[in-house]
């Protein structure tokens, strides 16, 4: 899911729009924390986790590792601030006041800038702030919400919609693409009331566009170079009720209920010509990008479709959840109550059965798992292993709260019971 690295809110707060694939995994309550387990896992013979950084936190804090830096957003008595710490020991690189709710932000990087996004409907202030990565100096700020990071053009896509999405239905909302360096608008599009729009959060392919579906029976695709309509196509009248449009990096998918089934139609990105149509069992599915497949999920089922043909490659009936974890894994709870499974998204093969480990919510590579030992205060850390298939325990960290842990680029970060955030380095192998 892109290089969003890590965003970990306090467990009692509403999670900010995250990390990464970040908006895709938080569209519904079915994509949440899940408890996992591995039977018979043994600790490694030598420790591989080495603590490299500790920073004190105030209660309302958000933190994230991006590259070689730990960024901490805090709501201090003297005002909200973003502080940049090197991952190795040493003083902070900089600390900058921001006009945002520091306990509810998302953090990202692009072209030498740190992006701070606040997603709190009805709260005044800067909902998007851009800081210089090297000095922390503010570059520009905006009351608009961050909808996407365009890594192809070094732009941000902002929206008036009150949540972190292009939105649907009333109210109408402007969508604005701005230069990351200056905040200068490059193009503006008005999404009319009643229409819905969708855009991947990370833009990594130049052909990717902004998809818009309107009640009049038409799908539009906006070119992200200039905000102009690149293509349009009519849709069948049966699409009008309960339809949903999803913009994927390489195609647009419209899903809608029809004749007791759910229908999905895929459109290519040049002229919006239909490429395939698939009929599946009726269900309010979310369409998710999970390369090499397209994933469908709701509270009772998960399916993986072939991107080119729409054919169902595998499916499972789940209890309570089914969520992609990126890096070709899907986490599902199949019909046998109490059996959690990690599934290969390409083949549908079960990688391992799981039970009482906690999986990080927004991994950017192979997912990391955590398990608390209440008797010792340790949190055990594990990663997916290919040989043998299952989970390989890396070791443990002391005093960590496993629900706040995550990993990024060979580093593990957790909030501890001592109101600090700690960083450990581990070997990627």
- Predicted local confidence at residue 224, as pLDDT: 98
Q: Quote the Cα angle for 227-2-412, to 5°.
A: 145
Please identify which residue in the block is written with the tokens 């049966």: 238
Reported as type and span, the H/E element at residue 22 is helix 22-25
Using CA atoms, how far residue 234 sits from 36, 51, 187, 328, 387, in Å, is: 45, 57, 25, 34, 50
Evaluate whether residue 1 is within a structural domain: no
- Predicted local confidence at residue 29, as pLDDT: 30
Evaluate whether residue 143 is within a structural domain: yes
Q: Domain limits at 340?
A: 8-425
Mapping DSSP to helix (H, G, I), strand (E, B) and coil, where does residue 25 land? helix
Mapping DSSP to helix (H, G, I), strand (E, B) and coil, where does residue 109 land? strand
Evaluate whether residue 359 is within a structural domain: yes
Maximum distance among all Cα pairs of the chain, rounded to whole angstroms: 64
Evaluate whether residue 247 is within a structural domain: yes
Which segments in the chain show pLDDT lower than 70? 1-47, 102-103, 236-240, 318-322, 326-327, 332-340, 361-365, 386-389, 428-429
Rg, C-alpha atoms of the chain? 22
- HEC letters along 334-357: ECCCCCEEEEECCCCCEEEEECCE
- Closest-CA residue to 299 (of 326, 279, 318, 324): 318
- Closest-CA residue to 201 (of 22, 66, 323): 22
CATH code of the domain in which 341 resides: 2.130.10
- Predicted local confidence at residue 16, as pLDDT: 38
Evaluate whether residue 179 is within a structural domain: yes
Q: Quote the Cα angle for 364-370-373, to 5°.
A: 165
Evaluate whether residue 314 is within a structural domain: yes
**For residue 361, what are its two tokens?**
């919510």
Evaluate whether residue 2 is within a structural domain: no
Question: Residue 168's Cα: distance from chain center in Å?
Answer: 20
How many Å apart are CA 144 and CA 119, to the nearest integer? 10
Please identify which residue in the block is written with the tokens 């029809």: 258
**Number of domains observed in the structure of the chain:** 1
Model's pTM, two decimal places? 0.84
DSSP string covering 229-297 = EEEEEE--GGGSTT-EEEE-SS-EEEEEEETTEEEEEEE-TTT--EEEEEEEE---PEEEEETTEEEEE
Evaluate whether residue 34 is within a structural domain: yes
Please identify which residue in the block is written with the tokens 């299952």: 390
Asked if 329 and 367 count as a contact pair (C-beta separation under 8 A), the reply is: yes
């Amino acid at each position: 899911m892109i290089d969003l690295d890590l965003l970990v809110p306090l467990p009692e707060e509403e999670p900010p729009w995250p990390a990464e694939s970040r908006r895709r995994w938080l569209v519904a309550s079915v994509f949440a924390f899940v408890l996992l387990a591995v039977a018979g896992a043994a600790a490694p013979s030598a420790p591989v986790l080495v603590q490299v950084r500790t920073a004190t936190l105030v209660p309302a804090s958000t933190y994230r590792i991006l590259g070689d830096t730990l960024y901490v957003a805090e709501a201090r008595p003297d005002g909200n601030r973003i502080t940049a710490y090197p991952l190795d020991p040493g003083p902070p690189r900089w600390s900058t006041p921001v006009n945002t709710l520091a306990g509810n932000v998302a953090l990202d990087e692009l072209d030498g800038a740190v992006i701070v996004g606040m997603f709190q409907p009805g709260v005044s202030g800067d909902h998007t702030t851009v800081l210089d990565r090297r000095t922390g100096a503010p570059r520009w700020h905006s009351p608009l919400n961050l909808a996407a990071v365009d890594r192809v053009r070094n732009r941000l896509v902002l929206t008036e919609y009150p949540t972190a999405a292009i939105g649907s239905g009333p109210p109408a909302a402007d969508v604005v693409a701005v230069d990351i360096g200056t905040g200068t608008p490059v193009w503006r599009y008005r999404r009319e009331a009643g229409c819905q729009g969708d855009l991947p959060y990370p833009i990594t392919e130049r052909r990717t566009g902004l998809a818009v579906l309107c009640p009049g029976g038409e799908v539009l695709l906006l070119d992200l170079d200039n905000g102009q309509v690149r293509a349009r196509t009519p849709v069948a009248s049966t699409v009008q009720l309960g339809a949903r449009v999803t913009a994927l990096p390489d195609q647009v998918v419209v899903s809608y209920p029809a004749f007791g089934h759910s229908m999905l139609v895929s459109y290519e990105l040049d002229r919006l010509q239909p490429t395939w149509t698939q009929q599946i069992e009726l269900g309010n599915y979310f369409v998710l990008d999970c390369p090499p497949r397209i994933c469908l999920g709701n509270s009772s089922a998960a399916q993986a479709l072939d991107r080119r043909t729409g054919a169902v490659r595998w499916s499972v009936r789940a209890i309570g959840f089914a969520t992609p974890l990126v890096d070709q894994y899907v986490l599902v709870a199949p019909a046998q109550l109490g059996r959690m499974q990690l599934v290969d998204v390409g083949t549908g093969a079960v990688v391992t059965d799981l039970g009482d480990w906690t999986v990080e919510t927004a991994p950017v590579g192979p997912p990391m798992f955590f398990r608390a030992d209440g008797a010792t205060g340790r949190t055990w850390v594990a990663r997916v292993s290919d040989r043998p298939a299952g989970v390989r325990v890396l070791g443990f960290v002391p005093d960590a709260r496993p629900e706040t842990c995550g990993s990024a680029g060979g580093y593990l970060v957790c909030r501890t019971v001592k109101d600090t955030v700690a960083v450990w380095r581990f070997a990627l192998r």
